């Protein structure tokens, strides 16, 4: 098991409404990213991840997730 402390996370920002924390394990199969979204993101259109699998866990609020051709409330 590898421990990555919060102070070692890579802080980022995709937009004013989307701040990120990345925890890199150095493993080709898995890393952890946490996005805190506080408004419409992206401002227009959709956000798509075409290069990796995602797990979406909504703590507060909601949104719409489109999984390939299936729509799901998140």
**pLDDT score recorded for residue 14:** 92
* 27-46 tens-digit pLDDT: 888 889 999 999 998 999 88
Spans in the chain with pLDDT lower than 70: 69-74
- Pairing type for strands 70-73 and 64-67 reads antiparallel
The overall longest dimension of the chain from CA atoms, in Å, is 40
Report d(CA 21, CA 35) in Å as an integer. 7
Distances in Å between the Cα of 59 and the Cα atoms of 12, 27, 45 are 20, 26, 23
- Residue 60: phi, psi to the nearest 5? -150, 145
């Amino acid at each position: 098991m590898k421990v990555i402390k919060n102070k070692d996370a890579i802080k980022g920002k995709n937009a004013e409404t989307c701040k990120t924390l990345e925890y890199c394990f150095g493993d080709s199969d898995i890393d952890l990213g946490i996005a805190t979204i506080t408004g419409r993101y992206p401002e227009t259109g959709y956000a798509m991840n075409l290069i990796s699998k995602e797990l979406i866990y909504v703590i507060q609020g909601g949104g719409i997730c489109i999984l390939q051709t299936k729509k799901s409330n998140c």
